[in-house]
Amino acid sequence: TNTDNSSTISLSLSLMGSFDDDCAEQPLSPTGRLYLHPKWNLIVHCAIGFKNPIDIDAIKYRLKNSLLLSHPRFSSLVVRDSHGVEHWQKATHIDLDRHIIILHNPVSTASQPVDHDTAVNDYLADLSIGPGLSTDKPLWEVHLLMAHNCCVFRLHHALGDGVSLMSLFLADCRRANNEEKLPTLAYGKTKSKNRVDSSSGKGWWVLLIGFLSMVWFNLVFVVEFVMRSLWVCDSKTEISGGDGVELWPRKLATARFRLQDMKLVKKAVPDATINDVLFGVLSSGLSRYLEHRTPNALPEGLQITGLAMVNLREQLGLQELSDRMKSNSPGLSWGNKIGMILLPIYYHKSNSPDDPLAYLKRAKVMIDRRKQSLQAYFSYKTILSTMPYLGAKVTAWLNNNIICNTSFTISNIIGPEEEITAAGNTVTYLRVNSTTLPHALTMHLVSYAGRVDMQISVAKDIIPDPAFLANCFEEALLDMKEAASRNATISI
């Protein structure tokens, strides 16, 4: 969620232009087939909060005239040929009423009066282990929670990744303060010119050491990835899941952060990024939580490995991205262009270290090393190569092993910088979660209008108090902010 630089969306969008005319009859991509496999069956839930009551007619009108219904992938069925290979097949008719599910009554909640955030989270938690999407219609639904001013888009991950889906959604939105303009999307992006300039004054031996370091870290991290897919696993802790835990009942809580706080913390450590801050917060927050659950039971420095989903597209402004999609630029077409990387964090007692920024410093060292590796590309290419030759079953088994041998999943999506409107209604929040994988803990982050919301989905029999865990993360960032502010004051 690095938001240091921004690019303005100036769309005359037609994202479906990235398809050939007959693409609806094409086979699914290997990644799409993996996400459809019963071991995964990965469905994304995007909760969109509205400021005003939902106008059902306005939602239907907007959908009928949106890019979504024009997009081949959202108007196609998944069918299997005689060899069991999935294909996209153009639907003869889209019955919008089958895709829109309206709930007029409040979602049941123990809170009185009704806590809308809790009610929506309870609904999303139930969806995450509920039945999948029906395959006799295109793989998406819109759930309107009328009593809570919330719309939940339910989309199968085979339709596309976070960048694709966010671009399609924002194409039909406008800025809340100017209905004539489209939203602004921010990306952290280091220009190649800057990279060249930064190395131009270095000696050949420095460049050689850098090259050898890159080769070494690539070797180490690729071997680590292979070992994780076969037998190496984390030590058991109070957040550990395992094979079958995806079927257990879920609870959902939301941790809320201010991007301004993250940026302030980032400045306290030279060359740190927002992602460094994020993983420093994760390390600190999980350490606090585990110390609360099992005081003095875990060894100092215990490794807890997370699985992060990484966008492999070049980070571009949405206009440039959509233009390249329409021209079918290599690597930028619609679909799933994501890889997986292993991100280790380490348990430390709350009084060790005394400096909260030590978590950020350790996270930066870890992430800088991961940046030198091609682990994400290796994982992506592994799916592309194993699916045609070994089939969906083996590919799903290998990837499922990686999840079972790690402790949590995390992903983040960059959203618009300012408040937006959808179907003429101001959006108050954007939050994402998904159906469950064999982790007891999954976290999905979305930035929106200067805020970052982290949806924390847990197996409630393993992690019974996700709201407390969310509070641990929030307090971790505030402690880092306080330390960064003190350092800034001392330096002045």
Indicate which residues carry an active-site annotation. Answer: 157
**Measured distance CA(393)–CA(2) in Å, rounded:** 36
- The set of residues, in sequence order, having a beta carbon less than 8 Å from that of 177 and lying 6+ positions away, is 418, 419
Q: Which of 431, 360, 417 is nearest to 187 (CA)?
A: 417
Q: With CA atoms as reference, report the closest residue to 429 among 446, 442, 414.
A: 446
**403 φ, ψ (degrees, to nearest 5):** -65, -45
How many Å is the Cα radius of gyration of the chain? 22
d(CA 44, CA 297): 36
Amino acid at 214: M
Is residue 452 a contact partner of residue 274, using CB atoms and an 8 Å limit?
Answer: no
Determine the Cα–Cα distance for residues 370 and 342; give it in Å rounded to an integer.
9
| Distance between CA atoms of residues 32 and 17, nearest Å | 19
The answer to whether the beta carbons of residues 150 and 114 sit under 8 Å apart is: no
Which residues have CB under 8 Å from 455's CB, separation 6+? 121, 124, 252, 253, 254, 431, 432, 433, 443, 444, 445
E strand or H helix that includes residue 322: helix 318-326
Place of tokens 């039971």: 297
429 beta partners: 49
Contact 354, 282 (CB under 8 A): no
